[in-house]
Amino acid sequence: MIEKTALQDGWDLYTVTNKKGMRLEVLNFGGIITSLEVPDKDGNLENIVLGYRNLQDYQDNPNYFGALIGQVAGRIQESKFELDNETFQLEANEGKHHLHGGPEGFHQVLWEVEPFEENETNGLRLYHTSKDGEGGYPGNLTMNVTYTLTEDNKLAILYKATTDKATPVTLTNHTYFNLSGGLKRTVATQQALVASDQYTELDEELISTGRLLDTAASPFDLRSFKPLQEVFSTPHNQLRIAGAGIDHYFLFTNNEKPKAGLYDPESGRLMTIESNQPGLVLYTGNGLDNSLELKERKSEKHLGICFETQAFPAALHHDGFPDLILKPGEEYRKETIFSFTTK
């Protein structure tokens, strides 16, 4: 079932519900996931993502709660890159660097939305074209992002894009998850999984140095489920740089399944993630403080965790990272599937 609620300024809120009661709420503004209700081990449906109490607060949304991110997710060093012997200057929005598509990135776009119900699934197709030169990026980029809710409690996000000029592209979603339900606790007591042998080293400005470090024998070793409190309490310079937590890119290990996950022992909720992206940025909400009025409570540090499946913008300045250049005649096609069960 899909319902649409018209809001002010052309904003619409879509509610997608499956037969088990799992419920997804999405704004056409920014393609933002504002709420996601899934059952705990006793069948209680609760919201498991961070969202504002007042929808108007998404107008600025400096933490990118629930938003579609692009044209390039992550930080582009010095807000510029070279492509085909030409230098492209982007808009800086984090000091001298370019973050998450810049100040007018896709999180600020009013997407065209087409609801659908078919084959035991229902969801939303979102459309947008970024014009040549917007934000400093070359090419007219035509995008179709599909949110699909299945009857077995999976949320699939499919990203498709084409361009008429070579241009860097890596899209993601910036939802903050907290499986406690209703934001009862921080994610410190929850357990995270990332199937990765290598992560990126960051400098003091959170820009990749170009070095890949081994996750083994470090707090970044999440190859089996690890309590996040164990990560947060481990002295490590890379955790300090990121604000007492993780804000790093992990390269996925080939053929490992699932690619990532989160488990809350108290509620019994388990989220596993599959993706054909080459890796993800894991962000543990290190920059959150108590100044934000969220749906259930005020925000606080480590209240949510993001699994930003994507390529990595360091590829624009360093060798050794997956390519993120999309060329005319090619289709960008990436999918990430979040599965929700209990144990």
- Structure confidence by residue, pLDDT tens digits, 29-77: 999 999 999 999 999 999 999 999 999 999 999 999 999 999 999 999 9
CATH for 2-342?
A: 2.70.98.10
- Compute the distance between CA of residue 70 and CA of residue 109 in angstroms, rounded to an integer: 10
For residues 18-35, average pLDDT: 96
Q: What is the CA radius of gyration of the chain?
A: 19
The model's pLDDT over 151-183, given as tens digits with 9 standing for 90+, comes to 999 999 999 999 999 999 999 999 999 999 999
Task: Assess whether pLDDT exceeds 90 at residue 120.
Answer: no
Task: Identify the residue with better confidence: 187 or 120.
Answer: 187
For residues 300-316, average pLDDT: 97
> Which residue out of 174, 248, 274, 302 is catalytically annotated?
174
For residues 74-88, average pLDDT: 95
Task: Assess whether pLDDT exceeds 90 at residue 113.
Answer: yes
The pLDDT score that the predictor gives to residue 93 is 94
Question: Is 308 a catalytic site residue?
Answer: yes
- Compute the distance between CA of residue 245 and CA of residue 236 in angstroms, rounded to an integer: 10
For residues 222-226, average pLDDT: 97
Contact in structure between 249 and 208 (CB atoms under 8 Å): yes
Task: Assess whether pLDDT exceeds 90 at residue 150.
Answer: yes
For residues 290-319, average pLDDT: 96
The pLDDT score that the predictor gives to residue 254 is 87
Confidence class for position 119, pLDDT limits 50, 70, 90: confident
pTM here is 0.97
Question: Is 114 a catalytic site residue?
Answer: no
Where are the chain's structural domains?
Answer: 2-342
For residues 258-267, average pLDDT: 97
The pLDDT score that the predictor gives to residue 283 is 98
Confidence class for position 26, pLDDT limits 50, 70, 90: very high
Task: Assess whether pLDDT exceeds 90 at residue 131.
Answer: yes
The pLDDT score that the predictor gives to residue 234 is 94
Give me the residue label for tokens 């921080």: 186
Q: Are strands 196-202 and 305-310 parallel, antiparallel or unpaired?
A: unpaired
The pLDDT score that the predictor gives to residue 266 is 97
